């Protein structure tokens, strides 16, 4: 398959949020283009300086000291949030970071009140983002973050807690009511009894709390452990199908085409769950390039894409957190274990109004459109007055034009085929660009 420039913009927007015209892959060969993007990726942990973990000192804190510590922790998580946003804008890491964002939604785990758990889970997802799903599943299941979030410490012999067992099957691997029963959930919970962490967050199994009796799981009887259950699930092809389906909805389009999902599923299962193999196949498929403009940008995708388009710094960490809150996706703080619903849920009436205004607020002090909600204007004006949210940034337009000298502005920013919009705004000037990014069409990727 030969790639056009529009195909290349599409490929980069889905793999890397956005790249400028001078940065798009040079080859027209789809396989070589995808390989080039994968080869330039650098895997580096997200680093944030925290005091050395001291469990004994934490136990001795007074109630007032705990409240002060918790307030400081929440601020640090906000700083890690801003740090991750900045990392996503780096071209030699964007694909790995977008995959990390994908897994962040799949293995949704709220860590917003603890910077230590936030870094643990975020780096764990990053380390395995393009690795093997088996390794990722094991690592998540044994992480201090997930053990705390889904109450595995409370899962004890004689009093099994089913939270992790249920979400393991329903959300993380097989899908709702696929090849398991309520009885299986109960028995799986027994297999994970005793799973906990030591005071430093390292995974342990407390022998006295583990139920080592015989269990009936997926029609088989045995003294199964938690790891045995993970292997039994991985041997089920519906696990691969669940992961393929989630990847398809995130990277291709919301409306599934069963033939395409099955194709991805077979690739993943036959590769023994090699994530990179599946994703390369997805980005090389003809049907991937027919899905241009078929996804609504998630809030984080929108913010990172804007940052990359115009070299934005988002210097006010409180502002970047506030924008995420208003748009409906705050990193490290999913609404529940199912993660963010996504799709059309991103653009209810108030959020769409904010999205249509946001590009103008950031780039042009808020002046571009006339048909906006007065209530929204007042809300945003109030926030600016309080210095809670600082939206405006100065853009180096000379640098932007240099990076996009030979590009069609419409093709660069818009993924659908709105001929009227193209006729009106395919002009290389600042006013036209700000109008383009203030259209509903810009919300699509």
CA atoms within 13 A on the CB side of 236: 19
Strand partners, 109: none
What's the average model confidence in pLDDT over 32-58? 96
pLDDT tier at 396, thresholds 50, 70, 90? very high
Please write the tens of the pLDDT for every residue from 244-275.
Answer: 999 999 999 999 999 999 999 999 999 999 99
* Residue 160: strand, helix, or coil: coil
Strand partners, 203: 197
Please write the tens of the pLDDT for every residue from 127-147.
Answer: 999 999 999 999 999 999 999
Round to whole Å and give the CA distance between 292 and 31: 18
Long-range Cβ contact pairs of 21-27 (< 8 A, separation 24 or more): 21/403, 21/404, 21/405, 21/406, 21/407, 21/412, 22/402, 22/403, 22/404, 22/405, 23/91, 23/403, 27/3
The domains of the chain are located at: 5-40+236-289, 152-234, 299-443
Q: At what angle do helices 63-88 and 317-327 cross, to 10 degrees?
A: 80
Per-residue pLDDT, 381: 53
Long-range Cβ contact pairs of 80-83 (< 8 A, separation 24 or more): 80/46, 80/48, 80/115, 80/118, 80/119, 80/122, 80/332, 81/317, 81/320, 81/321, 81/324, 81/330, 81/331, 81/332, 82/314, 82/317, 82/320, 82/321, 83/46, 83/48
Q: Using the CB atoms, write b or e for 203-213: b if 16+ within 10 Å.
A: beeeeebbbee
* pTM (whole model) above 0.75: yes
Per-residue pLDDT, 37: 98
């Amino acid at each position: 398959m030969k790639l056009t420039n529009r195909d290349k913009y599409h490929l980069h927007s889905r793999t890397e949020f956005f790249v400028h015209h001078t940065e798009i892959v040079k080859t027209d060969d789809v396989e070589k283009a995808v390989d080039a993007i994968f080869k330039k990726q650098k895997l580096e942990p997200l680093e944030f300086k925290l005091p050395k973990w001291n469990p004994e000192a934490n136990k001795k804190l007074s109630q007032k000291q705990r409240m002060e510590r918790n307030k400081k922790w929440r601020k640090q998580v906000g700083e890690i949030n801003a740090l991750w946003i900045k990392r996503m804008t780096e071209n030699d890491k964007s694909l790995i970071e977008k995959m990390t964002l994908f897994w962040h939604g799949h293995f949704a785990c709220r860590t917003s009140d603890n910077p230590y758990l936030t870094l643990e889970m975020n780096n764990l997802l990053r380390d395995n983002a393009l690795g093997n799903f088996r390794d990722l599943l094991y690592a998540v299941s044994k992480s201090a973050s997930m053990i705390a979030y889904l109450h595995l410490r409370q899962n004890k012999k004689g009093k099994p807690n089913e939270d992790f067992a249920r979400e393991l099957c329903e959300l993380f691997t097989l899908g709702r009511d696929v090849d398991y029963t309520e009885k299986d959930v109960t028995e799986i919970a027994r297999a994970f009894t005793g799973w906990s962490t030591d005071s430093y967050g390292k995974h342990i199994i407390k022998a006295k709390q583990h139920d080592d009796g015989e269990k009936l799981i997926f029609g088989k009887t045995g003294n199964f452990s938690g790891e045995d259950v993970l292997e039994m699930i991985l041997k089920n092809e519906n696990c691969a199908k669940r992961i393929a389906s989630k990847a398809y909805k995130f990277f291709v389009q919301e409306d599934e085409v069963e033939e395409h999902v099955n194709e991805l599923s077979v690739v993943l299962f036959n590769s023994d769950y090699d994530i990179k193999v599946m994703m390369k196949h997805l980005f090389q498929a003809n049907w991937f390039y027919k899905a241009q403009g078929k996804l609504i940008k998630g809030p984080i995708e929108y913010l990172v894409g804007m940052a990359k388009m115009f070299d934005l710094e988002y210097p006010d960490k409180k502002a970047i957190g506030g924008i995420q809150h208003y748009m409906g996706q705050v990193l490290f703080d999913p609404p529940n274990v199912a993660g963010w619903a996504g799709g059309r849920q991103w653009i209810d009436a108030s959020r769409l109004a904010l999205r249509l205004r946001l590009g103008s607020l950031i780039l042009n002090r808020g002046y571009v459109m006339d048909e906006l909600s007065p209530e929204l204007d007042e809300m945003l004006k109030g926030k600016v007055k309080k210095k809670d949210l600082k939206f405006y940034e100065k853009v180096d337009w000379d640098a932007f034009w240099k990076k996009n000298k030979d590009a069609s502005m419409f093709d660069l920013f818009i993924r659908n085929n709105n001929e009227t919009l193209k006729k009106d705004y395919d002009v290389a000037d600042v006013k036209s660009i700000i109008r383009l990014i203030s259209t509903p069409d810009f919300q699509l990727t």
